[in-house]
C-alpha cells in the first residue's frame, strides 16, 4: 500500500523557516526519520521510503502555496493513490502554536493552499494534519505574520512538537485516522 504525504509551503530561501512553511519542515523531519532524500521532480521535491510494509511518498510542492492543488492532484494520479491514503501537512492560524490536529476533511478556512486543493479536487474530503502557528498579529497583518520567521519561543515549542508530528504521520499510515486522532489530537 502507498501513502502520499504532502507538506505545504513555499519554495525559496526567503520562505525558509517561516510559519507558512511548517508543512515543509515537518515533511523534512519525516523524510529524515525514514531515511529518505528529496530529489527535484515534476511540481515538487519528492522522497520515497518504506515504513513496515507501506511505501511512503513525501512531496514538497514547488508550485508555491496558492497553487498547492496542482502538485497534490498530479502526485495522487502519478502515484495511483486515493485521497484517503494521503495526508496534507499544513499551518493553521486558528490553532495555538504547536497544537497538532488530524482531520479527515473540512473547509480550507482562510488558508489559500487548502482552498486551492479543494478547488482542484472539487471536494473537501482529504486528510490533513493541521499544525498550529497561532495568530499573534494585528488585524490586517496576517500575511506578514504567516510569512514571518519563528520567534525564539516558537522555535522551542516546535523543537518538541515536530517529532510528535512525525509520530502522528507514522501512526496515520500504520494505524489509520481514527486511532491516530484518538491517540494524538488532544496531546
Report helix, strand or coil for 67: helix
From CA 10, how far away is CA 16, in angstroms rounded? Answer: 8
Name residue, grid cell 492532484: 73
Beta bridge partners of 48: 57
Beta-strand (E) ranges in 29-145?
39-41, 44-51, 54-61, 86-92, 100-103, 128-132
Cell of 76: 495522487
116 is catalytic: no
From CA 185, how far away is CA 172, in angstroms rounded? Answer: 12
Nearest by Cα to 72 from 9, 18, 14: 9
Among the listed residues 20, 111, 116, 123, the single catalytic one is: 20
Other beta carbons less than 10 A from residue 34's beta carbon = 18
44-51/39-41 β-pairing: antiparallel
The residues that are catalytic are 20
Amino acid at each position: 500500500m502507498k501513502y502520499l504525504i504532502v507538506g505545504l509551503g513555499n519554495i525559496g530561501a526567503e520562505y525558509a523557516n517561516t510559519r507558512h512553511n511548517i508543512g515543509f519542515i515537518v515533511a523534512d523531519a519525516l523524510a529524515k526519520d525514514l531515511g529518505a532524500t528529496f530529489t527535484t521532480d515534476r511540481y515538487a521535491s519528492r522522497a520515497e521510503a518504506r515504513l513496515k510494509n507501506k511505501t511512503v511518498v513525501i512531496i514538497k510542492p514547488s508550485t508555491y502555496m496558492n497553487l498547492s492543488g496542482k502538485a497534490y492532484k498530479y502526485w495522487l494520479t502519478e502515484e495511483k493513490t486515493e485521497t484517503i491514503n494521503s495526508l496534507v501537512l499544513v499551518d493553521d492560524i486558528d490553532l495555538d502554536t504547536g497544537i497538532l490536529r488530524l482531520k479527515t476533511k473540512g473547509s480550507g478556512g482562510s488558508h489559500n493552499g487548502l482552498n486551492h486543493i479543494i478547488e482542484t479536487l472539487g471536494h473537501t474530503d482529504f486528510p490533513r494534519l493541521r499544525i498550529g502557528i497561532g495568530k499573534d498579529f494585528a488585524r490586517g497583518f496576517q500575511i506578514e505574520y504567516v510569512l514571518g520567521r519563528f520567534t525564539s519561543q516558537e522555535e522551542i515549542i516546535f523543537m518538541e512538537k515536530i517529532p510528535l508530528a512525525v509520530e502522528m504521520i507514522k501512526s496515520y499510515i500504520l494505524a489509520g485516522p481514527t486511532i491516530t486522532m484518538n491517540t494524538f489530537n488532544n496531546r
